Amino acid sequence: MKIKKLSLRNRIFIAMIILVLMASITITFVVVFQYKQETRDYHKDRLATKELNIHSHIKSVLNSRQNTWEVKTENIPLIFKEEIYNIANIHKLQINLYDMDGGLLISSKTGIKNDTLDNCLDAKILNQLSNTPQHRYVDKLKLNGETFQSSFTYITDNKSKDLAILNIPYLENDDFLAKELNAFLERISYAYLFVLAMAIAMAFLLSKYITKSLKKISDKINTTRLERTNEKIEVKDTSEEISTLVNSYNSMIDELRESAVKLARSEREQAWREMAKQVAHEIKNPLTPMRLTVQNFQRKFDPNDENIHSKLDEYSKTLIQQIDTMSSIASAFSNFAEMPAQQNETLNVVNIVRLAMDIFSEDYIFFKAEQDEIIAKFDRTQLIRVVTNLVKNGIQALVDQPEPKIVIHVGTEGDKVVITVSDNGSGVEEENKNKVFEPKFTTKTSGMGLGLAMVKNIVETYKGDISFVSEKDIGTTFKVTFPKE
């Protein structure tokens, strides 16, 4: 069975704890090593100091006894017969004096055991003394679990003639230093425990703080879907890296939203185009035969009845009118599927818009124009369709409005014609503003939702633009602009 991988939060937590433990262990090792090094240096320096003081003391004794005894190797035991004990007692060290051949002359401890004091020095010690420039040699040995240093140096007379070999056995007593070290380690262990506790708390909070933002981003990414609206991430007081990640995600959400809108619009428009083509095809197929049949019947009918001609003419006209109506409906679907060819008629936009208003009988519809004549190139039928669709849309927004009002205004901005249709209706909901020009979108219980989509397609075909401004329960204003030429 595979071991589950640790989460980032747990890894940060464990890494910080391990880091603190490693730092504590490293510091402890350094402290112990430094202690041992200082202990070695302490014993080395202390032995050298003791050796120097004893040398000075021996020199002083030799100078004071030279009138009594001749200062030579053979007289050393006599010169230091009593004094060697005083020197050893003063300096708290054992003192041994050997002749130049390594034989024991005198010692401050005559009852010393044979395993701690040799009557004759090894040839190795004698060679080291004679071959080193300082004529000094320090030997180190362990005995019964204790460490001894034993120094060997020459004793000379006033004429620098070698008289004897001074041996100072030195016991490295570390009891006091060891107690100091143990006390220090005990104190520092408490400090380490406190630091470790603080590190655990800080590691927990820091890992939680770092992964909190990442967890939020992860949750948002997991819930991101193309087919629905995705919320952006808002994270405050984060690091630069997390902020960069959040900004990248929010940018991706914007791009995803745009792509989703374009894809949805494309899919809906494609579906409606296919449907429009099919409906147009199905409706147009019977129109021509119906028209020909009615016309043929009209020509061949035997008018025996004196009133039959008028009746037949009325019937034929009515039927032809209905056929034309069906053809117009089919053309509307077909126009949505494929925009008609541009008929760049030179026309007076003011007159055409006023003509489009004639089909509306409502007394709350008002028409205004900056000029009596604004000339532009546009298809007459398509311009009427644009205006009537916008006005119908405004009328439908005036439901339950006690004082309805629609204002159509025609003017110019530079080399462009501007037509605005304003109403004081219910307005467009905020969440629907991006869907107003989408095919099949409607907030009404009737209608196919093609009116504004058709208007947009017509205006854009003539290199124009349509936009709107709307406020809830205040009204909506649609603005159509297109070039004069």
Q: Which residue has the tokens 């854009």?
A: 460
Residue 313 has pLDDT above 80, yes or no: no
- At residue 299, the pLDDT reads 65
3-state secondary structure of 478: strand
Q: pLDDT band at 285, cuts 50/70/90? A: low
- Whether residues 369 and 285 share a domain: the answer is no
Instruction: State the pLDDT at residue 481.
Output: 93
Region 405-427: what's the mean pLDDT?
91
Give CA separation, 280 vs 167, 206, 318, 334, 478, in Å: 126, 67, 22, 6, 30
Q: Which residue has the higher pLDDT, 130 or 207?
A: 130
Q: Are residues 64 and 129 in the same domain?
A: yes
pLDDT at residue 114 in the model: 43
Residue 465 lies in a domain: yes
Looking at the structure, tell me whether residues 276 and 366 fall in a common domain. Answer: no
- What pLDDT score was predicted for residue 448? 43
Rounded (to 5) percent helix, strand, coil in the chain: 55, 15, 30
Q: Kindly state whether residues 469 and 410 are assigned to the same domain.
A: yes
Q: Is 147 exposed, middle or buried (0-12, 13-18, 19+ CB in 10 A)?
A: middle
Asked if the model's pLDDT at residue 128 lies above 80, the reply is yes
- Mean pLDDT for 374-390 is 88
pLDDT number for residue 356: 84
User: Does residue 315 sit in the same domain as residue 350?
Assistant: no
Q: Provide the pLDDT for residue 237.
A: 60
Q: Are 476 and 422 in contact (CB under 8 A)?
A: yes
pLDDT at 113: 45
3-state secondary structure of 412: strand
334/278 Cα distance (integer angstroms): 9
Longest dimension (CA), the chain: 188
Tens digits of residue pLDDT in 211-242:
676 676 767 676 666 555 666 666 666 666 66
In-domain check, residue 231: no
Least confident range from 111-115, 139-143, 373-377: namely 111-115
pLDDT bin (cut points 50, 70, 90) of residue 369 is very high
pLDDT in tens, 77-114: 888 888 888 888 888 888 888 888 888 888 887 654 44
- The residue that leads in pLDDT, 469 or 277, is 469
479 class by beta-carbon count within 10 Å (0-12 exposed, 13-18 middle, 19+ buried): middle
Cα–Cα nearest to 116, from 80, 82, 150: 150
pLDDT, residue 375, reads 92
Q: Judge contact between 20 and 199, C-beta under 8 A.
A: yes
Of 281, 312, 337, the residue at which a domain comes to its end is: 337
The pLDDT assigned to 174 comes to: 66
- The reply to whether 170 and 249 lie within a common domain is no
Q: Are residues 354 and 422 in the same domain?
A: yes
SS3 281: helix
Q: Which residue has the higher pLDDT, 41 or 154?
A: 154
* Statement to judge: residues 45 and 91 lie in one domain: yes
The confidence band for 420, taking pLDDT boundaries of 50, 70 and 90, is very high
Q: Are residues 15 and 145 in the same domain?
A: yes
Would you place residue 176 in the very low, low, confident or very high pLDDT band (cuts 50, 70, 90)? low
The reply to whether 292 and 249 lie within a common domain is yes
Q: What is the pLDDT at residue 116? A: 44
Residue 349: what are its φ and ψ, rounded to 5°?
-60, -35
Note whether 349 and 332 are same-domain residues: no
Does residue 340 register a pLDDT over 60? no
Three-point CA angle 316, 318, 320, nearest 5°: 65
Asked if residue 460 is part of any domain, the answer here is yes
**Amino acid making up residue 222:** N
Q: Are 316 and 295 in contact (CB under 8 A)?
A: yes
Whether the pLDDT of residue 425 is over 80: the answer is yes
Q: How confident is the model at residue 297 (pLDDT cuts 50, 70, 90)?
A: low
Indicate if the pLDDT at residue 281 is higher than 70. Answer: no
Structural domain total, the chain: 3
CATH of the domain at 96: 3.30.450.20
- pLDDT at position 132 over 80: yes
Token pair 């494609």: residue: 270
The residue out of 155, 178, 201 marking a domain boundary is 178
Separation CA 358–CA 406 (nearest Å)? 14
Asked whether the beta carbons of 388 and 365 are under 8 A apart, the reply is no
DSSP one-letter string for 285-333 = HHHHHHHHHHHHHHHH----STTHHHHHHHHHHHHHHHHHHHHHHHHHH
Q: Per-residue confidence at 409, pLDDT binned at 50, 70, 90? A: very high
The tens digit of pLDDT for each residue in 429-464 reads: 887 787 777 765 555 533 444 568 888 888 888 889
Amino acid at 255: E
Q: Is residue 367 part of a domain?
A: yes
Residue 331 shares a structural domain with residue 455: no
Question: Containing domain of residue 80, as a range?
Answer: 8-178
Asked whether residue 28 is domain-assigned, the answer is: yes
Q: What is the mean pLDDT of the chain?
A: 77
Lowest mean pLDDT among 99-103, 154-158, 278-282, 418-422: 278-282
With b for 16 or more beta-carbon neighbours within 10 A and e for fewer, the 224-233 pattern comes to eeeeeebeeb
* CA geometry: angle 14, 15, 18, nearest 5 deg: 85
Higher-confidence position of 247 and 282: 247
Asked, for residue 222, whether it belongs to a domain, the answer is no
- Three-state DSSP state, 429: coil
